[in-house]
Structure 1
Amino acid sequence: MRVLVWNENVHESKGEGVYPEGIHEVVADGIRTGLGPDAVVRTATLDQPEQGLPAELVRQTDVLVWWSHIANDQVCDEVVDRVIARVEAGMGLVLLHSGLYSRVSLELLGTSCALDHWEPNNEQRVYTVKAGHPIAAGVPSPIVVPADELYAEPCDLPEPDELVFISSYSGGAVFRSGCCFRRGNGRIFYFSPGDQQYPVYRQPEVRKVIANAVGWAAPRNDAEDG
């Protein structure tokens, strides 16, 4: 399996957040740990040539993992179109946290994904609501995230094909935090935990979810279930 973890890397390049090595490197390390030596996991960032997503690299990617935030509008049309075409052709896509508002996400999902509100510094409890789903395999319920950014329903997400996780927050909100979608031949998973200000991607349970999601999103034969 060929996995590419893409991150805009803007906060890190400014010395902001809690991931000096880059969110992409921490997420990629978790995927390598979860999937083992059979997975080839690479990283890319917005500041690289062709914004880190040249045509040949995208063509060779089985699953793209995407984190972005303040530079969502900087991704050019050509790259957006390239990624969307590959997803529709069968490449898997795992969207993390504010990557929900990337141009790739919004165009594939087809809604604004607008939140009711958001707040910083809330405890988040991530509950499994679809027991037996491959993405929830080996994952405790709830996953307790001591501090993260709160995302609140109602949210203008399209109805997911499968809802795997729901989160509740110390601030009282709830959110559909783990959603599966299918677009064309591609599988998409959105997982909301992971603001750049909190070490969420260092938690073993969160890393397990992301590695599971990569395995679920990978291209497969039509005869395969799950």
Structure 2
Amino acid sequence: MSTPTEPRDLHIVVWNENVHETRGDATVVEHYPHGIHTVVADGLREHLPHADVSTATLQEPDHGITAERLAATDVLFWWGHVAHDEVSDAVVDLVVDAVHAGMGLVVLHSGHYSKPFKRLMGTTCSLKWRNDGERELVWTIAPEHPIAAGVPHPIVIDRQEMYGEYFDVPRPDEEVFLSTFAGGEVFRSGVAYRRGLGRVFYFSPGDQEYPVYHHPDIRRVLSNAARWAAPVSGRRELTADPHPRDWFLTDGAGRQGA
């Protein structure tokens, strides 16, 4: 019998604000002619051929995000950059509630400033940055972690935007990757959290001006992240429920437990 973490059972949605692409930014369109979301989705299908991978964008009704769609989603990928403020607070509420109930969330690159991630972190999520197209080395600092499975040490990205410390996020539950840049900066580029019943992974490589999501090692990391972030048990809303005294001594039908 399959389990929720097996690839054939995964239902994944890749969300992208899709603003650079729709306004025709030449460099972005060159690397991602059909949108960043399509390239990320193709990479997931490549490694998770039995998964159901779909996409959603800011321009769709309800940003492509509804309570019904999230209820059927195991893992939501989120990429945003220049339109964080255009995301409806009602949609943010849905995403955060879904994570608390057990849905996985993978936040990509400049999505560190997205409303859902900042809400879940409870901090500014600010960082240092410089876009000089420098080399990034992504070092695995937790080789036993499932997200690092099959990933070279280090991943070499020839040209990428620099993200540097201090990164204002809570202390991660797990640090998986640490990046170094040609300019000497370091950055916690792959960090994992639990929020409610859900798992959250932030992964920084992937600026819109560089073809990072075509990189085979980056695609492997994202597919590993999808497996890791998927619910390990059924989804359920966390609520404050009244319970009668000794409720735990009976089973669901009210019979005394063994």
After TM superposition, the score normalised by the length of structure 2 is 0.84
Aligned residue number for residue 89 of structure 2 = 77
The residue matched to 2:128 in structure 1 has which SS? coil
Q: Find the partner of 2:71 among 59, 65, 90.
A: 59
**1:129-173 Cα distance to aligned partner (Å, 9 max, x none):** 001110000000100000011001111121100000000001111
Aligned residue number for residue 182 of structure 1 = 194
User: Given the alignment of the two structures, is residue 193 of structure 1 paired with residue 202 of structure 2, yes or no?
Assistant: no
Q: Could you say what the CA RMSD is over the residues aligned between the two structures, in angstroms?
A: 1.0
Q: Find the partner of 2:219 among 207, 217, 223.
A: 207
Aligned residue number for residue 106 of structure 2 = 94
The residue matched to 1:78 in structure 2 has which SS? helix
**Structure 2 spans left out of the alignment, 5+ residues:** 1-9, 235-258
Aligned residue number for residue 31 of structure 1 = 44
Q: Aligned partners of 1:186, 1:154: CA distance in 2, in Å?
A: 26
Q: Aligned partners of 1:221, 1:58: CA distance in 2, in Å?
A: 16
Q: Aligned partners of 1:95, 1:70: CA distance in 2, in Å?
A: 15
The residue matched to 1:43 in structure 2 has which SS? strand
4+ aligned runs moved over 4 Å, structure 1: none
Aligned residue number for residue 239 of structure 2 = none
Aligned residue number for residue 178 of structure 2 = 166
**1:171-200 Cα distance to aligned partner (Å, 9 max, x none):** 111000000001000000000000000000
**1:17-49 Cα distance to aligned partner (Å, 9 max, x none):** 121110000000011111122x10000100001
**Structure 1 spans left out of the alignment, 5+ residues:** none
1:55 is displaced (CA, Å) by 1.8
Q: Aligned partners of 1:84, 1:221: CA distance in 2, in Å?
A: 18
The residue matched to 2:45 in structure 1 has which SS? helix
Aligned residue number for residue 20 of structure 1 = 33
Query: Which of structures 1 and 2 has the bigger CA Rg?
Result: 2
1:94 is displaced (CA, Å) by 0.2
Q: Aligned partners of 1:174, 1:60: CA distance in 2, in Å?
A: 37
1:56 is displaced (CA, Å) by 1.2
**Letter in structure 2 aligned against 1:75:** V
Q: Aligned partners of 2:206, 2:104: CA distance in 1, in Å?
A: 20
The residue matched to 1:3 in structure 2 has which SS? strand
**1:45-70 Cα distance to aligned partner (Å, 9 max, x none):** 00001111122111111100000000
Q: Aligned partners of 1:194, 1:43: CA distance in 2, in Å?
A: 17
Q: Aligned partners of 1:40, 1:118: CA distance in 2, in Å?
A: 36
1:117 is displaced (CA, Å) by 3.7
Kept after mapping to 1: 8 A contact 2:162/2:181:
yes
